[in-house]
């Protein structure tokens, strides 16, 4: 059956799966994307939002490499904001409310119009291998599809359980079916499977909310969109609302805590600390009077509203009381109850840095199955798994992004090196090269790499080259001495008493003059775009700190450049502690830097490895 042979099969059509499938198809590989239902393609099962701190950076990076999430978010955004504008540019992130129905439809259409890509409704039951390499995927119907590559992107669907109070059902999110057979196949392939938990709040009928008791959260105007390919600004069409829990909320939850599956022991799987359910927040932070609740629009096509900050697995009757205790929600009618969901995922340390499964050629895993959480984290992994599967098919070397090159690099390195004991969320604090990994320079960091792997088309590449040349040109001009007239004009326009003496634009910016004022009043900078000017000003302001950070990067690079051959016998290595022997043997780090980040490998163990390397090299 020739039509059942593909270059690659992607199992799952969520935020990881779609990026993987598009990356493979766009690099010329005939790709089949299996999904339990095409109605759940790129479905936003939780927040109807894309971006947020660090996550916004990931979206920009995926976009810079030629991925789809940024374009799709821009096309379907209901409002957009830049977070952290009170802090430095490096930690500012975009966050957009996305229309979840439009988001799904737009992404599905993108897949359908993509050459080399077929969508198939089916449930994968087994990954077939031959001689240690993937050779195909079997479905629950007994059908077999042949392919040397399988990318597993099953999200939260593997053996998923929905929990509301003492009601438990074997089903996926939001009423979609769960996948029940693939887990055994993964175990048979040598992967260790774990159980994670996450949750989502209720969706409520917007017509039953009293918005007059809440404060309106509008989007911001004139914010650059996620994608470097989207022109103009995002229109803000729907607001969010901010409200608070009350003393009643606290009482209702405390009185009923024995009925919470999280507290009475019926949910044992690991949930994320950074995304606690409302019962968790109330119990753990008992002294906090109230908690903020954001009401977010799900879609322009529905009245349903998302109640951010109130995920829960309490029984339905407690939920009803609880939601009604929130200011402005006294008469609320729940459309969909909040629930916790448990699902199977793998221990991500079984993966190599290219997201391939060690020991099984052609098998890749990305997204929530790797223990991460979030659409953006999924998309970044999906894209990288897709790129690396494509490189594998083409016989070229993997693309592994460094921790100093991209948040995506930090994310994947953390997952495959440290592993995670809870659903992993990207945070700026995890990126030690944070000042450099800004969302504004994502294209400068990554678009050339995307071009090299064949994902960046001419149009995107042209934009990148134009921006690069603009930045390079004006970066030099910032160093030119200004005329006295220009200096005075800048100070006058900024309303700051002038300082005498020669100055360059760079110096003025470092003295705190607004970059755009300088741009307007310095003749040689008039031609610079506002966007490029803002980025150059950021570079100026961070300069001293970037040097400090660069020194730290250089220091670490020394470790990164000490490669660890993969034939090292860690188990019998003298001087290593037992835990370190086992962890190193399991993870087989590619260099000392990676080894040093493995939990359970101490600095003393690293010195033993250094010692080993210096002996070996002689």
Q: Which residues contact residue 336 at a Cβ distance below 8 angstroms, ignoring those fewer than 6 apart?
A: 174, 202, 203, 304
Least Å distance, CB 72 to another protein, is 23
| Cβ neighbours, 10 Å, residue 611 | 13
Q: What whole-number distance in Å separates Cα of residue 351 and Cα of residue 370?
A: 9
Reported in sequence order, the residue ranges of 140-225 that DSSP labels E, i.e. its strands, are 144-146, 150-152, 161-164, 167-169, 193-200, 203-205, 215-217
Q: What whole-number distance in Å separates Cα of residue 131 and Cα of residue 293?
A: 54
Least Å distance, CB 606 to another protein, is 4
Residue with Cβ nearer another protein (292 or 396): 292
Residue with Cβ nearer another protein (280 or 342): 280
Least Å distance, CB 602 to another protein, is 7
Residue with Cβ nearer another protein (485 or 575): 575
Residue with Cβ nearer another protein (83 or 534): 83
How would you classify residue 209: left for phi > 0, otherwise alpha for psi between -120 and 50, otherwise beta?
beta
Least Å distance, CB 603 to another protein, is 4
Residue with Cβ nearer another protein (273 or 479): 273
Element (H, E) at 242: strand 240-244
> DSSP H helical segments within 495-529, as ranges?
505-510, 515-521
Q: What whole-number distance in Å separates Cα of residue 217 and Cα of residue 91?
A: 21
Residue-wise burial string across 123-150, b where 16 or more C-beta atoms lie within 10 A, e elsewhere = bbbbbbbeeeebbbbbbeeeeebbbbbb
Residue 460 corresponds to which tokens in the numbers above?
Answer: 């995107």
Least Å distance, CB 300 to another protein, is 23
Least Å distance, CB 178 to another protein, is 32
Least Å distance, CB 335 to another protein, is 25
Residue with Cβ nearer another protein (438 or 445): 438
Residue with Cβ nearer another protein (146 or 612): 612
Q: What whole-number distance in Å separates Cα of residue 140 and Cα of residue 120?
A: 13
Least Å distance, CB 560 to another protein, is 12
Residue with Cβ nearer another protein (347 or 560): 560
Least Å distance, CB 86 to another protein, is 8
Between the alpha carbon of residue 510 and those of residues 198, 482, 540, the distances in Å are: 45, 15, 7
Residue with Cβ nearer another protein (197 or 281): 281
Q: What whole-number distance in Å separates Cα of residue 376 and Cα of residue 59?
A: 6
Chain contacts with another protein (rule: CB under 8 A): 53-54, 83-84, 86-88, 90-91, 292, 294, 427-429, 432, 434-435, 542, 545, 548-549, 552, 555, 558-559, 573-575, 596, 602-604, 606-608, 610-612, 614-615, 618
Whether 506 contacts 479, CB under 8 Å: yes
Residue with Cβ nearer another protein (261 or 297): 297
Q: Which residues contact residue 285 at a Cβ distance below 8 angstroms, ignoring those fewer than 6 apart?
A: none
Residue with Cβ nearer another protein (144 or 217): 217
Reported in sequence order, the residue ranges of 3-54 that DSSP labels E, i.e. its strands, are 8-11, 31-35, 49-51
Q: What whole-number distance in Å separates Cα of residue 20 and Cα of residue 379?
A: 8
Least Å distance, CB 409 to another protein, is 18
Residue with Cβ nearer another protein (290 or 358): 290
Least Å distance, CB 427 to another protein, is 4
Whether 66 contacts 450, CB under 8 Å: yes
Least Å distance, CB 263 to another protein, is 23
Residue 403 corresponds to which tokens in the numbers above?
Answer: 């921790």
| Cβ neighbours, 10 Å, residue 558 | 10
Interior angle at CA 220, CA 218 and CA 223, nearest 5: 155
Please write down the HEC assignment for all residues of 578-616. Answer: HHHHHHHHHHCCCEHHHHHCCCCCCHHHHHHHHHHHHHH
Angle, helices 69-76/100-112, rounded to nearest 10 degrees: 130
Least Å distance, CB 240 to another protein, is 11
Residue with Cβ nearer another protein (155 or 593): 593
Backbone angles phi, psi at 191, to 5 degrees: -85, 145
Whether 97 contacts 78, CB under 8 Å: yes
Residue with Cβ nearer another protein (97 or 106): 97
Least Å distance, CB 109 to another protein, is 32
Nearest C-alpha neighbor of 437 from the set 402, 464, 413? 402
């Amino acid at each position: 059956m020739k039509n059942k042979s593909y270059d690659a099969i992607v199992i799952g059509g969520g935020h990881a799966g779609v990026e993987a499938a598009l990356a493979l198809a766009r690099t010329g590989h005939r790709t089949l994307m299996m999904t339990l239902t095409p109605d759940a393609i790129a479905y936003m099962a939780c927040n109807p939002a894309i971006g947020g701190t660090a996550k916004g950076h990931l979206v920009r990076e995926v976009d810079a490499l030629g991925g789809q999430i940024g374009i799709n978010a821009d096309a379907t955004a209901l409002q957009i904001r830049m977070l952290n504008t009170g802090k430095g540019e490096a930690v500012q992130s975009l966050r957009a409310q996305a229309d979840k129905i439009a988001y799904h439809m737009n992404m599905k259409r993108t897949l359908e119009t993509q050459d080399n890509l077929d969508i198939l409704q089916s449930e994968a039951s087994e990954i077939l291998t031959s001689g240690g390499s993937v050779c195909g995927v079997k479905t629950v119907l007994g059908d077999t599809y042949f392919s040397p590559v399988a990318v597993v992107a099953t999200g939260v669907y593997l053996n998923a359980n929905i929990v509301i109070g003492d009601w438990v059902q074997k089903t996926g999110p939001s009423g979609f079916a769960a996948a029940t057979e693939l887990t055994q196949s993964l175990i048979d392939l040598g992967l260790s499977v774990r159980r994670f938990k996450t949750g989502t709040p209720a969706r409520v009928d917007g017509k039953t909310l009293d918005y007059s008791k809440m404060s309106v959260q509008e989007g911001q105007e004139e914010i650059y969109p996620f994608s470097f390919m989207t022109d103009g600004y995002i229109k803000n069409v729907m607001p969010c609302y901010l409200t608070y829990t009350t003393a009643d909320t606290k009482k209702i939850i405390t009185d009923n805590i024995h009925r919470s599956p999280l507290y009475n022991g019926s949910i044992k799987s690991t949930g994320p600390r950074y995304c606690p359910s409302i019962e968790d927040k109330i119990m753990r932070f008992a002294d906090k009077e109230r908690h903020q609740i954001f009401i977010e629009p799900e879609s322009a096509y529905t009245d349903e509203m998302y109640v951010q900050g109130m995920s829960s697995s309490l029984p339905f009757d407690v939920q009803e009381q609880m939601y009604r205790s929130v200011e402005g929600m006294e008469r609320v009618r729940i459309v969909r109850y909040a629930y916790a969901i448990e699902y199977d995922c793998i221990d991500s340390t079984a993966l190599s840095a290219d997201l391939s499964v060690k020991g099984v050629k052609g098998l890749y895993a990305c997204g929530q199955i790797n223990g991460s959480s979030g659409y953006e984290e999924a998309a970044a992994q999906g894209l990288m798994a897709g790129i690396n599967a494509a490189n594998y098919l083409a016989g070229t070397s993997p693309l592994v992004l460094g921790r100093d090159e991209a948040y995506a690099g930090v994310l994947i390195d953390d997952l495959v090196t440290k592993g995670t004991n809870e659903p992993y969320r990207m945070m700026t604090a995890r990126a030690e090269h944070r000042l450099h990994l800004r969302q504004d320079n994502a294209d400068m960091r990554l678009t050339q790499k995307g071009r090299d792997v064949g994902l960046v088309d001419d149009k995107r590449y042209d934009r990148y080259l134009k921006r690069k040349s603009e930045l390079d040109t004006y970066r030099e001009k910032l160093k030119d001495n200004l005329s006295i007239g220009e200096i005075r004009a800048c100070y006058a326009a900024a309303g700051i008493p002038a300082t005498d003496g020669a100055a360059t634009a760079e110096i003025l910016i470092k003295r705190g003059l607004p970059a755009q004022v300088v741009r307007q009043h310095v003749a040689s900078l008039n031609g610079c775009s506002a966007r490029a000017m803002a980025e150059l000003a950021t570079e100026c302001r961070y300069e001293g700190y970037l040097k400090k950070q660069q020194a730290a990067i250089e220091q670490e690079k020394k470790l990164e450049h000490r490669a660890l051959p993969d034939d090292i016998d860690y188990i019998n290595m003298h001087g290593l502690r037992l835990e370190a022997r086992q962890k190193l043997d399991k993870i087989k780090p590619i260099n000392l830097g990676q080894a040093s980040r493995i939990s359970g490998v101490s600095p003393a163990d690293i010195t033993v490895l250094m010692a080993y390397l210096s002996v070996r090299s002689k």
